[in-house]
Structure 1
Amino acid sequence: MGMTPKSGFFLLCSCVSGIAAVGSVFELSSGIPQYGTMVTGTILALSIPFGIYAFYAAVQAAREEQ
């Protein structure tokens, strides 16, 4: 199973989303998030499902090319 540009793009989006989620958790646990609790919480709430979707899409795109 090789990586196609489409699956690579989705995998990149999944990685960036994971980094955003981890960063948001650290920001919220620090007590005073740089962008505020509401914005940081929204980033966290959106990045987790998007990351899961992007990873699933990357796997599906790679399987299509077999």
Structure 2
Amino acid sequence: MTPKSGLFLACSCITAIAAVGSVFELTSGQPDLGTQTTAIILGLSIPLTGLFFFAAVKDAKANINK
């Protein structure tokens, strides 16, 4: 694993945590940041989680034999 793929993986973890937290906030009925802001965070964090994870795997595979 390279530092670059580690950074991508860390970002993927952070955005996944944000997505799970947003779901719990929205289902609680009274989100601390408001419904609209929490929904925006959820909407952005789901695709970013996938993109960061894909980038981490792609970078790790590219550097596997180096």
Bin the TM-score by the shorter chain. over 0.9
Give the structure 2 partner of residue 42 of structure 1. 40
> What is the alpha-carbon root mean square deviation over aligned residues?
0.4
Give the structure 2 partner of residue 22 of structure 1. 20
Deviation (angstroms), 1:39: 0.3
In structure 1, what residue type is equivalent to 2:24? F
- Identity of paired residues, percent? 59
Q: Deviations over 1:10-59 (max 9, x none)?
A: 00000000000000000000000000000000000000000000000000
Query: Normalization by structure 1: what TM-score?
Result: 0.95
Query: Normalization by structure 2: what TM-score?
Result: 0.95
Count of aligned residue pairs for this structure pair: 64
Give the structure 2 partner of residue 13 of structure 1. 11
In structure 1, what residue type is equivalent to 2:4? K
SS of aligned partner of 1:35: coil
Unaligned runs of 5+ in 1: none
Unaligned runs of 5+ in 2: none
Runs of 4+ in 1 over 4 A off after TM superposition: none
